[in-house]
Amino acid sequence: MEEARRRDIYFSFFMFTADLRPNDAGYTQVLVRHLKALTEIGYTGFDVHIAPGPAHIGHHAEIESYISLKRAFDQAGFRDVKFTTNVGTTRTFDPTSPYEEQRKQALSYLKSRVDITSVLGGENTIMSGPFLYPYGIFPLTDDGEGIWSDALQDWMKPRYAAAASIFRELAQYSAEKRVKLAIEPVKNWETPGATMVSEVLDFLESADIPVCGVTIDTAQVVMESQGPAIFRKNVARAAQQSRLNYVHISAPDRGAVGDSWIPWEIMLDEIEPVYSGPYLVEVFNAIPPFESSMRMTRRRFWRPGEDAPEAGVDSAYDVARAALRTLEEKIASHGRRSHP
């Protein structure tokens, strides 16, 4: 267990919110209470989603609001706590757009997210998420029909090509800010691409973007995967190119990690020998907007200080505690198997 404790394990605030509301001082105190409870449980860092701001608010004002939020965290005693961010692109801020002006707007947006990540996490932090193709946006034909399969793959090719120069500039900018980029492939009902680790790696290689990497998420790999053999090749490929920038530990149903269908041995056998960064425990709670966007039917984990306790339903802290214990045990078990 001693070896496991040396590994940084972070917790995702998707358990509580998809919007930190940095201008809401009252809500900041809610966040602070969660930070206090989770650090006492044993987490060494946190991943927070940077929601798109209101249309009338410029990126500079957004950055300033997160500077104020980080100051509040510091004053509450969390100066040394580590933060990473989760970022997605949108229909408005689309780096794959065929229109140059829109791609430039997307670049400005993504640079601002790098700035916010730097504000919250400092040097050598990570900006992860589905920030290549806009999240939740699917193409339609002129007749309003969906585009799928081979036609969708063909439709995506010029999109990836259009994004290449944007990501080269973004990667250079993030390197100057000492922020690691980690594009996360997500499921095929969340986005048309990228949905697999291999697709992200193909894009980065073909676009010649050396200082940008990939997030491997256990849930995404299980649900949107080509199997264990390809998984092993992708982990090795990412590691050899220094592109394995983040690893998310998430159950296939995006719920409790403690007792879930994560293929621990297959994944840790490949990841542990080549990855030294933090693991992120990621649980999507049945809260807006996830309950609708992910069609959640399971009950909500009640959030202490926000929801009323419910008999027979785990609290967010109970789920977090069990996940940390499980992950530490699995890492320790891997260590014993590797060094009997």
Which amino acid belongs to residue 266? I
**Average pLDDT over all residues of the chain:** 94
Residue 118 sits in a domain whose CATH number is: 3.20.20.150
Using the predicted structure, report yes or no on whether residue 229 has a pLDDT greater than 50.
Answer: yes
- On whether residue 180 sits in a domain, the answer given is yes
Residue 95 CA, chain-centre distance (Å), reads 18
Asked if pLDDT for residue 2 goes beyond 60, the answer is no
Alpha-carbon gap, residue 97 to 120, rounded angstroms: 29
Are 170 and 210 in contact by the 8 Å Cβ rule? The answer is no
Evaluate if residue 3 carries a pLDDT over 60: no
Is residue 212 situated within a structural domain?
A: yes
Q: Could you tell me the maximum CA-CA distance found in the chain, to the nearest angstrom?
A: 62
With respect to residue 3, please indicate whether it lies within any of the assigned structural domains.
no
Tell me the average pLDDT across 179-184: 98
Percent of the chain with pLDDT over 90: 88
Tokens standing for residue 37: 């409870």
Residue 340 pLDDT class (50, 70, 90 cuts) = low
Number of domains making up the chain: 1
Q: Is the dihedral of CA 207, 210, 211, 217 positive or negative?
A: positive
For residues 1 and 79, which has the higher predicted lDDT (pLDDT)? 79
**68 class by beta-carbon count within 10 Å (0-12 exposed, 13-18 middle, 19+ buried):** middle
Q: Which residue has the higher pLDDT, 124 or 6?
A: 124
Would you state the pLDDT for residue 252?
Answer: 92
Q: How far lies 214's CA from each of 30, 187, 221, 239, 243, in Å?
A: 31, 15, 13, 10, 6
Predicted model pTM? 0.95
Q: How far apart are CA 169 and CA 112, in angstroms?
A: 13
Exposure letters 147-180 (e unless 16+ CB within 10 A, then b): beeeeeeeebeebbebbbebbbebbebbeebebb
- Give the model confidence (pLDDT) of 264-306 as tens digits: 999 999 999 999 999 999 999 999 999 888 888 899 999 999 9
Asked whether residue 4 carries a pLDDT value surpassing 80, the answer given is: no
CB of 170 closer than 8 Å to CB of 111:
yes
Is 1 inside a domain boundary? no
Asked if 275 and 239 count as a contact pair (C-beta separation under 8 A), the reply is: yes
Task: Using the predicted structure, report yes or no on whether residue 338 has a pLDDT greater than 80.
Answer: no
Distance, in Å, from the CA atom of 4 to the CA atom of 281, rounded to the nearest integer, reads: 14
CA–CA distance, 87 with 273 (Å, rounded to integer): 28
Q: What is the pLDDT of residue 293?
A: 84
11-36 mean pLDDT: 98
Does residue 204 form part of some domain? Answer: yes
d(CA 203, CA 206): 5
Q: Which long-range contacts (CB under 8 A, 24 or more apart) does 293-298 make?
A: 293/136, 294/254, 298/253, 298/255
For residue 48, which of 83, 77, 88, 23 has the smallest C-alpha distance? 83
Domain presence at residue 138: yes
Task: Of 245, 234, 259, give the one whose Cα is nearest residue 327.
Answer: 259
In a domain, 153, yes or no: yes
Domain that holds residue 34: 9-338
Phi-psi region of 295 (alpha: psi -120 to 50; beta: other; left: phi over 0): left
Q: 141-147: which pairs have CB atoms within 8 A and are 24 or more residues apart?
A: 147/192
Lowest-confidence pick of 116-120, 167-171, 174-178, 311-315: 311-315
What is residue 138's predicted lDDT score, i.e. its pLDDT?
96
Closest to 271 (Cα-Cα) out of 330, 206, 205, 183? 330
- The reply to whether 90 falls in a domain is yes
Check residue 2 and report its DSSP letter. H
User: Residue 191's closest CA among 247, 152, 245?
Assistant: 152
pLDDT tens-place string over residues 123-145? 999 999 999 999 999 999 999 99
Quick: pLDDT tens for 44-96.
999 999 999 877 789 999 999 999 999 999 999 999 999 999 999 999 999 99
Under a CB-based contact definition with an 8 Å cutoff, are residues 102 and 89 in contact?
no
pLDDT value for 201: 97
Task: Please give the pLDDT value at position 294.
Answer: 85
Which 8-state DSSP code applies to residue 75?
Answer: I
| Cis status, amide bond into 251, omega within 30 of 0 | no
